[in-house]
Amino acid sequence: MLSMLLAVAAFSLMDACLKTLAPYYAPMQVTALRGLSSLPLVTLWVLADGGAGQLLQIRWMLHLLRGVLSIVMLSSFAYALRSLPLAETYSLFFIAPLLITALAALVLREQVGWRGWAAIALGFCGTLVVLRPTGAGVLTLAGFAVLVSATGYAVSAIVVRVLGRSDSTQSMVLWMLAMTGAFALVLAWHDWLPIQPGHWPVLAVLAVSGAVGQYAITDAFKRASASRIAPLEYTALVWGILLDRIFWNTLPDATTLIGAAVIIASGLYLLRHERVHAEAEHP
């Protein structure tokens, strides 16, 4: 759980960097910059903790799947950040922990129960409140992009749970960043723009926060039940509101906060439900 909280804080700072870069570069270039900027730091960590040998004895197809999912997730997220504040983006992205719980039950056979499924359904209702499908809210291409990103994130989290049974945390982090950076670089090469001088400090913060966040979240999903730690993602809303206020002088409206509250309440119930279930199994 501590790893997950650290990951959320680091990724919130990383997302603020992505939002800063998004208006100036294409989504695929922003995706490539996210992967490539953190790769040197992660490589040094891998070499110092276990060496390069752990990078080869892996399940390549699942790592390739994570690389593809990462490109879809990050490029969609970068596109959304061009027009949506962090807090609204997070409010929609909060559907991801509910998707993770549902996928954990369907794919990994983790126990959820009817109360858990009811909480998931309530969370989806909260998502509709944030989207405001009447047309007055964020039911736009940007809003849809966030939902695509959240789905990619949820599927990737399940893949991490499967990979964690055999592959090291180091290999999962490094290959995800390497594949994200390489694949996105190829796709973005034709429209690649030179990095503006003022954006190099942003890239430095992106590199550090991305590396810390990627390690922490991979470690969290490897060590604990996906449905147990996923709701801690909701602490990102606090970071999103704070960063929006500091850097862009914006705050979410009441409807967004109400929808986010419904989703968060659903997730917190799932967290409590998983804890009670675990204690019942291991008194």
Distances (CA, A) of 251 to 130, 150, 213, 255: 14, 22, 25, 12
Give the tens place of pLDDT for each residue, 181-216. Answer: 999 999 999 999 999 999 999 999 999 998 898 788
Tell me the per-residue pLDDT of 22-35, one tens digit each, with 9 for 90 and over: 999 999 999 999 99
Tokens linked to 107: 């794919």
Structure tokens at 258: 């109400």
User: Is residue 19 within 8 Å of 81, Cβ to Cβ?
Assistant: yes
Burial class (CB in 10 A: 0-12, 13-18, 19+), 34: buried
pLDDT at 276 over 60: no
Here the tokens at position 101 are: 């719980």
CA angle 156/157/160 to nearest 5° reads: 90
Higher pLDDT, 142 or 20: 20
Residue 136 has pLDDT above 60, yes or no: no
Q: pLDDT tens digits, residue range 223-267?
A: 777 667 767 777 888 899 999 999 999 988 888 888 888 888 887
What phi-psi label fits residue 135: left (phi over 0), alpha (psi between -120 and 50 degrees) or beta? left
Residue 278 parent element (H or E): helix 254-281
Main-chain dihedrals φ then ψ at residue 82, nearest 5 degrees: -65, -30
CA distance 183 to 39: 14
pLDDT value for 271: 67
d(CA 260, CA 126): 6
State both tokens at 149.
Answer: 């990103």
pLDDT band at residue 282 under the 50/70/90 scheme: very low
> Mean pLDDT across the chain, nearest whole number?
84
Q: Are 59 and 163 in contact, with CB atoms under 8 Å apart? A: yes
Tell me 168's DSSP state.
-
Q: Which of 119-123, 177-181, 197-201 has the lowest mean pLDDT?
A: 119-123
The residue with greater pLDDT, 211 or 57, is: 211
pTM listed for this prediction: 0.81
| 8 A C-beta contact, residue 49 and residue 170 | yes
Could you please report the per-residue DSSP string of 58-115? S-HHHHHHHHHHHHHHHHHHHHHHTTS-HHHHHHHHTHHHHHHHHHHHHHS----HHH
Under DSSP, the state recorded for 248 is I
Q: How confident is the model at residue 278 (pLDDT cuts 50, 70, 90)?
A: very low
Rounded to 5 degrees, φ, ψ at 85 are -65, 160
